[in-house]
């Protein structure tokens, strides 16, 4: 029997959550896959879920189990590792992989991500990640080619253990174009650029604001953690940059489709941004937008020969934004429309072998 372990709930508005939900929808469409929901905000309920999971799969054999990396921390909260029970957790997972067919979806490499985004808990995460990739009978589905290759090299994984399932996007459905008239400023003759994603430190949002405050074109910012932006824009008196707030993935896709160019300003000197494939790449393409990005290696690899993006160091963005005309963008948009079906979740998850 086949089991999909669902470890999440709540609003879908962030890249990792969007990916998780896409997998959940995919597995829900199959009658031969049982969804096991381990998500709960109540500690006692989570304890019961973990107990039932351990009990059931310890006494069964030869099932197929698919889980996201994040499900491990729902089943086994971090305090267990800090209490010295990490070896017990990994022993169980190793035994699970020997009694069943276990596949783990890897959206990010937590250590490299936390290090480059300047987040805490690096020693714990580094140790966890090293142990996670020590299993010899687990299959891993990585969210990028570079991430897979990096993990194979760093942890001596076999190539047959490691597959790639890129981040995708939902298909843009028809909607009333006038719904967002009050939200989006009318700007005849000006291009509308948009950034969709979290606004926290390490995302180069400050650089993006600096570039567009010197431009006549419009920049819209959508995502979580952007309250500080409104204050910055107000203090500087900037009137062509707008923080619109955080939206569900489907609403953000509609809003973005009314813009002209999606931007990815990530620091190309950081390893994590080069080995990951940002969800927003497929998101922008699904919205019908060409992309302006810094030269990120995995993104360049995926989009090579498609002529749907411009890859420039952020120091060159001022010149690009100043010189790019609406006609130039329209040409790129035609290429986007040709290739974007390849980046829908339905297309990407056809390659999921489970």
Q: What is the pLDDT of residues 170-187, one digit of tens each?
A: 999 999 989 999 899 778
pLDDT tens-digit series, residues 243-273: 999 999 999 999 999 999 999 999 999 999 9
pLDDT at 66 over 90: yes
Helices and strands (DSSP H and E) totals, the chain: 17, 12
Residue 232 confidence class, pLDDT cut points 50, 70, 90 = confident
Residue 100: the pLDDT is 98
Overall average pLDDT of the 275-302 stretch: 98
**Is residue 1 very low, low, confident or very high in pLDDT (cuts 50, 70, 90)?**
very high
User: For residue 13, is pLDDT > 70?
Assistant: no
pLDDT average, residue stretch 192-196 = 97
Residue 284, both tokens: 């922008």
Cβ 265 vs Cβ 191: under 8 Å:
no
Q: Are 335 and 308 in contact (CB under 8 A)?
A: yes
Q: What is the mean pLDDT of residues 81-93?
A: 94
Question: What are 102's two structure tokens?
Answer: 């276990």
Question: What six digits make up the tokens of 71?
Answer: 């499900």
Residue 279 burial (CB < 10 Å; 0-12/13-18/19+)? buried
Containing 337, the helix (H) or strand (E) segment is helix 326-339
DSSP letters spanning 6-27: E---S---SHHHHHHHHHHHHH
| pLDDT > 70 in the chain, percent | 98
Q: Kindly indicate the confidence band of residue 59, based on its pLDDT and cuts at 50, 70 and 90.
A: very high
Q: What DSSP line would sit under 18-84, residue for residue?
A: HHHHHHHHHHHT-TTEEEEE---S-HHHHHHHHHHHHHHHHS--S-EEEEEHHHHHHHS-HHHIIII
- Inform me whether the pLDDT recorded for 201 exceeds 70: no
| Predicted local distance difference test score (pLDDT) of residue 119 | 82
Is the pLDDT score of 307 beyond 70? yes
pLDDT the model gives residue 117: 82
pLDDT at 82: 87
Residue 187 pLDDT? 81
The pLDDT of residue 139 is 98
pLDDT at 292: 98
For residues 199 and 168, which has the higher predicted lDDT (pLDDT)?
168
pLDDT for res 121: 79
pLDDT bin (cut points 50, 70, 90) of residue 16 is confident
Q: How confident is the model at residue 40 (pLDDT cuts 50, 70, 90)?
A: very high
pLDDT tens across 89-140, in order?
999 999 999 999 999 999 999 999 999 888 887 899 999 999 999 999 999 9
Q: Is the pLDDT of residue 230 over 90?
A: no
Full-prediction pTM beyond 0.85? yes
Give the three-state DSSP class for 125: helix
pLDDT for res 256: 97
Q: Look at residue 11 in the predicted model and tell me its pLDDT.
A: 66
* Cβ contacts of 310 within 8 Å, gap of 6 or more: 290, 291, 292, 293, 320
- Reported as a pLDDT band with limits 50, 70 and 90, residue 45 is very high
Residue 118's pLDDT is: 82
pLDDT score of 132: 97
Average confidence score pLDDT of the chain: 94
pLDDT for res 202: 59
The share of the chain scoring above pLDDT 90, in percent, equals 86
At 155, phi and psi to the nearest 5?
-120, 10
Largest CA distance in the chain: 67
């Amino acid at each position: 029997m086949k089991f999909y372990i669902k470890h999440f709930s709540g609003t879908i508005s962030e890249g990792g959550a969007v990916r998780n939900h896409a997998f959940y929808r995919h597995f829900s469409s199959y009658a031969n896959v049982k969804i096991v929901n381990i998500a709960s905000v109540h500690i006692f309920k989570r304890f019961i879920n973990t107990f039932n999971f351990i009990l059931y799969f310890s006494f069964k054999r030869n099932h197929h189990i698919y889980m996201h990396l994040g499900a491990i921390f729902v089943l086994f909260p971090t305090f267990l590792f800090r209490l010295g029970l990490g070896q017990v957790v990994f022993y169980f997972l190793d035994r699970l992989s020997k009694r069943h067919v276990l596949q783990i979806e890897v959206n990010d490499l937590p250590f490299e991500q936390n290090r480059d985004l300047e987040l805490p808990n690096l020693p714990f995460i580094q140790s966890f990640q090293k142990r996670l990739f020590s299993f010899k009978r687990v299959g891993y589905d990585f969210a990028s080619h570079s991430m897979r290759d990096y993990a194979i090299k760093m942890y001596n994984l076999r190539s047959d253990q490691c597959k790639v399932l890129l981040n995708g996007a939902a298909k843009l459905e028809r909607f009333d174009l006038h719904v967002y008239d009050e939200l989006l400023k009318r700007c005849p003759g000006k291009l509308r650029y948009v950034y969709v994603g979290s606004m926290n430190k390490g995302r180069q949002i400050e650089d993006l604001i600096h570039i567009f405050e010197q431009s006549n074109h419009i920049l819209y910012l959508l995502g979580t953690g952007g309250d500080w932006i409104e204050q910055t824009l107000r203090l500087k008196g900037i009137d062509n940059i707008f923080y619109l707030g955080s939206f569900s993935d489907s609403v953000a896709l509609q809003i973005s489709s009314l813009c002209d160019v999606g931007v990815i300003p990530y620091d190309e000197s950081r390893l994590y941004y080069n080995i990951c494939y940002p969800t927003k790449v497929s998101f922008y393409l699904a919205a019908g937008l060409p992309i302006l990005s810094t030269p990120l290696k995995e993104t360049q690899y995926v989009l090579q020969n498609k002529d749907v993006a411009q890859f420039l160091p952020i120091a060159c963005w001022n010149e690009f934004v100043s010189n790019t005309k609406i006609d130039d963008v329209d040409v790129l948009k035609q290429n986007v429309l040709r290739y974007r079906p390849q980046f829908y979740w339905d297309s990407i998850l056809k390659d999921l072998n489970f």
